Structures are given as structure tokens and as C-alpha cells.
Chain A
Amino acid sequence: MQNKLEKIRNIGISAHIDSGKTTLTERILYYTHRIHAIHDVKGRDGVGATMDFMELEKERGITIQSAATYCTWKDYSVNIIDTPGHVDFTIEVERALRVLDGAILVLCAVGGVQSQSVTVDRQMVRYKVPRLAFINKCDRTGADPIRVVRQLREKLNHNAVLLQIPLGLESNHCGVIDLITMKAYAFEGEHGEQILESEIPAEFMEPAREKRAEMLDAISLFSDELTEGILEDRVTEELIHDAVRKGTLSLRLIPVLLGSAYKNKGVQRLLDAICSYLPSPLDCHTVALDLDKNEAEVFLKTDEGLPLVMLAFKLEVSRYGQLTYVRIYQGILQKGSNIANMRTGKKSKVGRIIRMHADQMEDIDNAYAGDIVALFGIECSSGDAFTDGRVRYVMSSMHVPEPVISLAIKPKDNKAEMNVSKALMRFTKEDPTFRSYLDGETGETIICGMGELHLDVYVERMRREYQAEVSTGAPMVAYRETITRRADFNYTHKKQTGGSGQFGRVAGFLEPNPDGDYRFINKITGGAIPTEFIPSCDKGFQACLKKGSFAGFPIVGVQVTINDGSVHSVDSSDLAFQHAAIGAFREAYSRAWPILLEPLMRVVVETPSEYQGTILGTLNQRRGMIISTSENGAFTSIEAEVPLSEMFGYSTVLRSATQGKAEFTMEFARYNTVPKNIAEQVIRDQSVN
């Protein structure tokens, strides 16, 4: 078992869009004999790469949903999660990172470290994922892997160390020089399957020696044995591998490999590095929370004799029903056994256990700690934890951002209406950042998400997968209201209109809560309001938060304290105190100086330096606060905070301003006060709607 676990690698491949990660995955699957033909991502042959199995992804040439796939390299089992490259889908990336033990950061040898790579890298840092870097596209004109390594050091602050140097660049790229073995490797044959090992050509000897010395210097920090070996001039390959592995696992070293997946160069050496340097499940320490012990932390062990603990990290609909991807952290999962969902308490029987290879499947009977497999017939949501019922553990909650944009959708006919509700039920289960609700006032269905592209993709999926034609309204920004000062209340709800009356008095105050949440504080003494009515007061206040009277948006960041009240022995009831709380909140709210908040996005534009002035102008016109610029050779990266409401259509503006040479990424930063004149306009628009 121990031996088996040591040979498992659960890895993700993440990177900037178009840096070639899907092509790389495709090549990995080819060399590991999981597929027998190679297709392009952009589908020139009409088939498309294997991991991009959703039709929409095939059309756009991008990866939206991460698919898990299994392959073997030498005597190692490798589970690969292909992750999306666009910031709008970061929840997909983050969910994938949660269950991974290691990752490959794919970088383009021409584009280098771009804004998306920075975002993805930040997520990897958050989940403490050890990683390798693979500098792809060394065959492209302008390829400069040394510059990319420098960017890894400067932009991402990584201790990036080259383990290889390219054997020729651009059109001359034919392989790599390994600085550990000090041999040259060329990749020949139709699909690069023949690896020719040879001595380093004379013209590459000097740079290879220089880079090897740099490499040894950098990695010797992680191994005293290697330091001694260097001093005594007896450096072995094992000593180097050991030091690189130690450095990588400690997150203090990023080994860098090179190649061109498209031209079939360097991929097999990358597979070797995955097995040698990335962690096995034994190297990872996973913590769960014990529900029976007030969510005390428990370290999970990969022992198969211990109770089963696993996490559902992804749901998909397949031809045969819902497919749930799970990562097993402890114990053994057996076909036919019972498992319990820790969130719902519901028990289910394990029907089929599947190893996934993109959209092809292989049935298995057992899966062990460290495995990533898929299950059929399990009702759950993404992020749910399962056990075999012997323990009640949940995995630590994942950080799920609140949606910042919404869109009204209208089915075009009755058939579409049925399918839309099916689709929405599915999407909201699959993706926690995607939400939907029915607007009680307008009767419209509203979908909410993390960006324009995020919602666009779901609308498109409704059309394609559920044959649901929908028309969409203009995107709407998720504004919020909050208060800026304390306001007291003392409200009596009294009603005597025949039958039993209603009476309740609540007194206290509202005040801003800087952490942005709602908080209810009960300071009633002497039974002025009986304990059984306190939850009713809380409920009444919470009801008011759904729609503020200032502009009609949800209210955030309010702390309500009640400190006095009155009760009537006959006429007081739950309902009366709810009404009293609602009246009290309304009375105080307008005196608490409410303001409007809007989502502020962190926008990073990568542009050729000559367009710097133009870009600054476009961001400034959008009420952007420009935070910094970084000039790096011919490119400048501009970072700004811009209100989301101003960012609609920015990609078109950017394209036309820079002849399509600039690109940008955007992610939610925080909520910020809307300037008075803009707030007035928003309130006017809201009242018209």
C-alpha cells in the first residue's frame, strides 16, 4: 500500500490561456498510451484535443470545465486535472487545486509570465501546491526561456531554477539539454516518441556548464549531502534529484523544464520530472474538521484500515447520469459499500466506481486513499464531504467568492422554459459561484456569476446541452447598500383590528460593521423581551437586509443591537416581534446615512509599452484608480482598480485601442462606495426598473 501510494501523482496543469496546456495534456496522454492519435486544440481535423471534451470548448479552443483523467508513466499512476485558463472560471481552478498534490505551471516561451499566470499562481500559493514550471512553445519565433525564468523570479517571486536548457530555439528547437545528466535529448519520429540521447554539442557546452553551476548553487540549499558532494567533487544524479525534490516539496524551489508540446519536444522528460519531484499523497498533510468535536481539526492518514473520508470536487452530467468526481483522503472506497454525505446526512450505496479518461471510462471495484475517481448515482453538491458513516468529518470549507454580476434570462418558448430550469439546477450544483433565482417583482429568472464571460458560457451551454434558447437582458452589477453611522430605534408594533391583537416593542441601535457581515447582538436584560421572541427579532431584521430602502439593493455590513423592549401577555407573538423588528429597522435605517457600494475589480492590462498612455486613459475614463505600472522590455503591465459597472465592453475598447495587441484580466477585489452623482443615477435607474 505504502509502495503504491508513493507512486501516485495527483497533478493539475494550469496556466494562462493559449499557453498550450491542453496540447501538453494531449501529448502526455499520447505518450502514456491513453490515446492513440494526436489532435489539435483548435480542431483543424474536426476532432479536437481529448481533454477539451465539451463541444463549446472545442469551438472556442479554450478549456472551461476541468476534466480528470488517469494515466500511467513507467510504474507511476498519474491523475491529471486539466484546469481552465480564464479568470472568470477561477472557481474551477481553485476547486481543482484543493484536491491536487502538485501542479505544472505552463508558460509560453514567447509571452512569458502574463497576468493570468500571476492569478493562477496566487491560487496555488493559497493552497500550498508544490509545482514545476514547463516553458512551452520553445519552437515559436521570439521564444526566450531565460527571460521567462527571470520573470518567474521577478514577477512571481519564485526561486525558479532551470533543470534544462534548450537544444536550439525557434525553428531550430529540436530538444533539450539536461543539466543533471549533462546529455542532449532530441525527440524524433512522427510524434517525438523516439528519444535520442547524445553528448552535448560543442556549441552548447559552455552555456550548459554555466547553467549547471547555477542550478547546483541554487539547489544545494536544500541538501547538505549535495553541498558536501559539490565541495568534494562527487555530485551524483541521485543527490541532485533528492535536493530538487526536497526544495520543490518545501515550496521554496520551482524546477523549470522546457520544450514544445505542439512539436512533441520535451514532454517525456517532463513526465519523468512529475514522478521524480512532485509529491505523492504520502507527502501531503490533509486536515478535516470533526463535526462531533465542534469542528476540531483532524489530520487524515492514507491508511486503508481507517474510516473512509473523501471529497466531491466536481460534478458533471454524462450520458448515464450525474458523474461525481471524488478525491479519497483516507480509507478505502468499495463498490457496493455505503457512504454518507456529511452535509445532508443522506446515505447512498456506491454503484459504479470509474477511472476517468476525459470522456471515456474504466470501471473499477475499489479505490484507495490518494485516488481520484468518479462515481455514478451519488446525489450531492460540489464541495460535499463523504465518509463511510464511522466518523463525521468535513473538509475545510473552500473560499467561494460572491457573484458580482447578474443577467436576466427569458426562455423563448415553453420547451425552453422546462430545459432552462433543468440546466440551472445542474449548473448551480456544479459551480458554487454560479447562482440563479426568480425575481419576485419582475418574474424574470436571474443568473449571477463572476464575470461577463462566465455567464456567457452558461447561456451558451443552455443552448447547446439543453436545447434551451434564451434571450438575455443587459448585465447588471451586484450593488449593495450599507450604513455609515449609528442610529437608534425604539419602535412599537401595535395592531388591534378585531380578533387577537399584535404587540411588540423593540429598542436598540444599528451601527456599521466593518467586516461587511450582518451581526445581531442581544443586550436585553430583565426579560424586557422574553427569550422566545429574540429569534423573531433577528428574523425580522434579516428580512430587511434583502432589499434596502435607500436604493433597493441588499444591505451588508450592519450590526443590530437590541437593548430594550416591551411585551404584552396576550397580544405578543413571533409575528408581532418580527413586525416590530422590521418597523424598527426601517425607522433607523434612513437615519444611519445609507450609502451605495459597488464591486471594484482588480484589472491588469498587458500591453506593448507604446500604448501605455492610451490604456491609462481608457482606465481613467472608467473611474479606474491606477495602482502601478511595470515596464518589462517591450511590454508594460498596468494594474488598476476599476468599478465593474464601467468594465462592460472593455475588451472591445482595448482591442481597437491597441490593434488587438493588449489583453486584460479582471477579478473581484472588494466593494467600494459609489460616488454621489453616480449613486443618484443608479438609484434613478433602479426605480425605473
Chain B
Amino acid sequence: MDIESPSVIELVHRALGSPLKRGELGVMLASAGVGKTACLTHIALEQLLHGLPVLHVCINDVPEKIKLWYLEFLNNIAACRPGVELAGLQHRIEPLRFIMAYLHQTFSTDKLEQSLRNLREQTKFNPSLVVLDGIDFDRTTRSTIESLRDFAQRNELSIWMSARIHRHINTTNERGIPYPCNETDDLFDAIFLLETVLEAVQLKVLKHADAYQPKYPVIFLHPQTYMLQLIEGTH
């Protein structure tokens, strides 16, 4: 496997980087504990390391935990790149990252928009990506996702969300999209599925742009670092 070939880099970028254009919505589906938060943090980091501001919203989780994820991944990056220091990486990303937590069911799209307005007006922070982690999709209606899509379009930013799938619910629509996004898949521009396969975490693209089950290769991520482990079926 030659990970230097342009097609692979492009694929990794599409899958883990920024497959969304401004105004678009993406969702990362996985069962509990597989690594939704870790993957979303990787997506955010990729943007941050490219100098793009990210708003990381965590629902029912405290910012401290999210900061630990970033620290862990930055440590991994620093460890495998000689000459790159953790402090330097932190210094680079921290001014571009903002973590916003909503605890105890206090989240709503209106509140998010108000908080973003405050941030823009008071601190000139203007994110190009919003990571929205922890929304309870079992209780999320179509109109909530529509409102988030409108929010993304109005504010010219992309949103990556996480959604938990349940092992005991096997509902999947005719386009191959499982519950809980089986009735709202038309609102998403990218739908990824994370699954544990043997010793790795497998990332499958279920939808990208208008294409369902596109012929992208499957990516395997390291279960601890969530860094690229293997790409299967490279063209």
C-alpha cells in the first residue's frame, strides 16, 4: 500500500478531512464506545492544523474531556513526527479552537446561533467548521436537523455531527442508511459509519454528496490513536 499516492491522500482527506463544503451537514454513525468523538476530534484537528477555525460543541459533556482528546491526538502527532513539538502544535491550534458545552439538555439550535453571534461580535471568532458531538438522535426530529442545516447555510459553515446507532435496532432504509438517520439521510451530505472489526476501527462512507454507497475504499483506523492504519481496495 502506497499511502503517498495522490488518490489515497485525497481519499483520506475526503474521509477524515473536509468532505463537506460550507453549508453542508455530515454525520458519523457508530455504536457507543466505537469512537465517534475521537473521529470528530480528528476531523476538527485536521482543519485546525490547516489554520481553519473550528467550533467544537459538546452536548452533555464537559470541555475538559474534549481538551484531553485533542491533547492525546496532538501528543500522537508530535510523537510520530520528528522535530514537531507538542507545545508548538498546541500554540498553533488553540487560538483557532473554541469548545462550547451544553449540559443538562440545554442545547438548541437557537442557543447555538446566539452563542455563535456572541463569539463573532465579541471575539471575531468565525469558524468554518462546527463539530456537534453528543446530540441524542433518538429524540431529534427532522425539523431539528433542518434547522441545523439552515443554520449552517446562513452562517456559511459546515457541520459534522455524531449519531449513536443501537445494536438492537436493525432498521436500515433502502439506500443502506441505518437508524437513526434512515429517515433524514436526504438532509446530510456525508454519512460515515464506524465499526469495530477485529483489531481495528473501520470507517465506511455510506453517502457522499449525492452518491449512496460510493465506491471509496474502506479505511481502517488504529483503535487507540484513530490514526490511519490501512486502506483496503485502493484503486
Number of interface residues of B (CB under 8 A): 29
**CB–CB A632/B118 < 8 A:** no
A631 to B103, CA, bound (A): 6
Name A590-634 residues within 8 Å CB distance of B: 612-613, 616-617, 620, 625-633
**CB–CB A627/B122 < 8 A:** no
**CB–CB A150/B95 < 8 A:** no
Q: Nearest CB to that of A612 among chain B residues?
A: B118
Name B217-234 residues within 8 Å CB distance of A: none
Nearest Cβ on chain A to B222's Cβ, whole angstroms: 26
Q: Nearest CB to that of A151 among chain B residues?
A: B103
- Chain B CB within 8 A of A335 CB: no
**CB–CB A625/B111 < 8 A:** no
A612 to B125, CA, bound (A): 15
On whether A629 and B95 interact (CB within 8 A), knowing A612-B115, A612-B118, A613-B122, the answer reads no
**CB–CB B122/A620 < 8 A:** yes
**CB–CB A157/B64 < 8 A:** yes
- Chain B CB within 8 A of A154 CB: yes
| Secondary structure of the A contact surface, majority rule | mixed
- Chain A CB within 8 A of B94 CB: yes
Which residue in A150, A157, A514, A625 is a CB contact (below 8 Å) of B94?
A625
**CB–CB A628/B104 < 8 A:** no
**CB–CB A627/B94 < 8 A:** yes
**CB–CB A628/B101 < 8 A:** yes
- Chain A CB within 8 A of B170 CB: no
- Chain B CB within 8 A of A639 CB: yes
- Chain A CB within 8 A of B99 CB: yes
On whether A631 and B98 interact (CB within 8 A), knowing A612-B118, A616-B122, the answer reads no
- Chain B CB within 8 A of A155 CB: yes
Chain A residues lying within 8 Å of B87, measured Cβ to Cβ, are 514
Chain B residues lying within 8 Å of A629, measured Cβ to Cβ, are 63, 99-101, 115
A29 to B2, CA, bound (A): 73
**CB–CB B111/A616 < 8 A:** no
**CB–CB A627/B63 < 8 A:** yes
Which residue in A150, A616, A628 is a CB contact (below 8 Å) of B118?
A616
Nearest Cβ on chain B to A307's Cβ, whole angstroms: 43
Which residue in B85, B95, B115, B122 is a CB contact (below 8 Å) of A617?
B122
On whether A628 and B63 interact (CB within 8 A), knowing A616-B119, A633-B104, the answer reads yes
User: What are the interface flags for A495-514 relative to B under an 8 Å C-beta threshold, 1 for contact and 0 otherwise?
Assistant: 00000000000000000001
Chain B residues lying within 8 Å of A628, measured Cβ to Cβ, are 63, 67, 98-101
**CB–CB A631/B123 < 8 A:** no
Interface centre among B60, B87, B118 (most CB of A within 10 A): B118
Name B157-201 residues within 8 Å CB distance of A: none
Query: Which bucket holds chain A's interface residue count?
Result: 20 to 34
Q: Nearest CB to that of B124 among chain A residues?
A: A620
A155 to B118, CA, bound (A): 24
Nearest Cβ on chain B to A142's Cβ, whole angstroms: 16
Chain A residues lying within 8 Å of B67, measured Cβ to Cβ, are 627-628
Nearest Cβ on chain A to B126's Cβ, whole angstroms: 13
**CB–CB A630/B104 < 8 A:** no
Chain B residues lying within 8 Å of A625, measured Cβ to Cβ, are 94-95
**CB–CB B111/A631 < 8 A:** yes
Nearest Cβ on chain A to B21's Cβ, whole angstroms: 27
- Chain A CB within 8 A of B121 CB: yes
User: What are the interface flags for B35-68 relative to A under an 8 Å C-beta threshold, 1 for contact and 0 otherwise?
Assistant: 0000000000000000000000000111111010
- Chain A CB within 8 A of B216 CB: no
Nearest Cβ on chain B to A123's Cβ, whole angstroms: 16
**CB–CB A616/B104 < 8 A:** no
Which residue in B64, B103, B115, B121 is a CB contact (below 8 Å) of A632?
B103
- Chain A CB within 8 A of B69 CB: no
> Once A and B bind, how many residue pairs between them come within 8 Å at the CB atom?
69
Chain B residues lying within 8 Å of A627, measured Cβ to Cβ, are 63, 67, 94, 98-99
Chain B residues lying within 8 Å of A155, measured Cβ to Cβ, are 62
- Chain A CB within 8 A of B106 CB: yes
A632 to B104, CA, bound (A): 6
Q: Nearest CB to that of A155 among chain B residues?
A: B62
- Chain A CB within 8 A of B102 CB: yes
Chain A residues lying within 8 Å of B118, measured Cβ to Cβ, are 612-613, 616
**CB–CB B62/A626 < 8 A:** no
Q: Nearest CB to that of B97 among chain A residues?
A: A627
A526 to B208, CA, bound (A): 69
Which residue in A514, A617, A620, A630 is a CB contact (below 8 Å) of B103?
A630
Nearest Cβ on chain A to B85's Cβ, whole angstroms: 8
User: What are the interface flags for B116-146 relative to A under an 8 Å C-beta threshold, 1 for contact and 0 otherwise?
Assistant: 0111011111000000000000000000000
On whether A620 and B101 interact (CB within 8 A), knowing A627-B63, A633-B106, A639-B63, the answer reads no
A233 to B56, CA, bound (A): 47
User: What are the interface flags for A121-155 relative to B under an 8 Å C-beta threshold, 1 for contact and 0 otherwise?
Assistant: 00000000000000000000000000000100011
Q: Nearest CB to that of A613 among chain B residues?
A: B118
Nearest Cβ on chain B to A100's Cβ, whole angstroms: 25
**CB–CB A616/B123 < 8 A:** yes
Nearest Cβ on chain A to B88's Cβ, whole angstroms: 10
On whether A150 and B123 interact (CB within 8 A), knowing A612-B115, A616-B118, A628-B98, the answer reads no
A75 to B62, CA, bound (A): 42
A514 to B78, CA, bound (A): 15
A338 to B45, CA, bound (A): 61
Q: Nearest CB to that of B118 among chain A residues?
A: A613
**CB–CB B102/A631 < 8 A:** yes
A150 to B101, CA, bound (A): 15
User: What are the interface flags for A309-343 relative to B under an 8 Å C-beta threshold, 1 for contact and 0 otherwise?
Assistant: 00000000000000000000000000000000000
Interface centre among A155, A613, A630 (most CB of B within 10 A): A630
Chain A residues lying within 8 Å of B122, measured Cβ to Cβ, are 613, 616-617, 620
User: What are the interface flags for A546-582 relative to B under an 8 Å C-beta threshold, 1 for contact and 0 otherwise?
Assistant: 0000000000000000000000000000000000000
Q: Nearest CB to that of A614 among chain B residues?
A: B122
**CB–CB B123/A626 < 8 A:** yes
Nearest Cβ on chain A to B149's Cβ, whole angstroms: 22
Nearest Cβ on chain A to B29's Cβ, whole angstroms: 25
Nearest Cβ on chain A to B144's Cβ, whole angstroms: 17
**CB–CB A631/B99 < 8 A:** no
Chain B residues lying within 8 Å of A616, measured Cβ to Cβ, are 118-119, 122-123
**CB–CB A630/B63 < 8 A:** yes
Name A251-282 residues within 8 Å CB distance of B: none
**CB–CB A631/B106 < 8 A:** yes
Name A620-662 residues within 8 Å CB distance of B: 620, 625-633, 639
Chain A residues lying within 8 Å of B65, measured Cβ to Cβ, are 157
A613 to B118, CA, bound (A): 5
A472 to B125, CA, bound (A): 40
On whether A630 and B98 interact (CB within 8 A), knowing A157-B64, A514-B87, A616-B123, the answer reads no
A-B contact pairs, 22 of them (CB 8 A): A154-B60, A155-B62, A514-B87, A612-B115, A613-B121, A616-B118, A616-B123, A617-B121, A617-B123, A625-B94, A626-B98, A626-B123, A627-B63, A628-B101, A629-B63, A629-B100, A630-B63, A630-B102, A630-B103, A631-B100, A631-B102, A632-B103
Q: Lowest 4 A-B CB distances belong to which pairs?
A: A628-B63, A613-B118, A628-B99, A630-B101
Q: Please give 20 more A-B residue pairs, beta carbons under 8 A apart, in addition to A155-B62, A613-B118.
A: A154-B61, A154-B62, A154-B103, A514-B87, A612-B115, A612-B118, A613-B117, A616-B122, A620-B122, A620-B124, A626-B119, A627-B67, A627-B99, A628-B99, A629-B115, A630-B62, A631-B102, A631-B111, A631-B115, A632-B103
| B residues neighboring A (CB under 8 Å) | 60-65, 67, 85, 87, 94-95, 98-104, 106, 111, 115, 117-119, 121-125
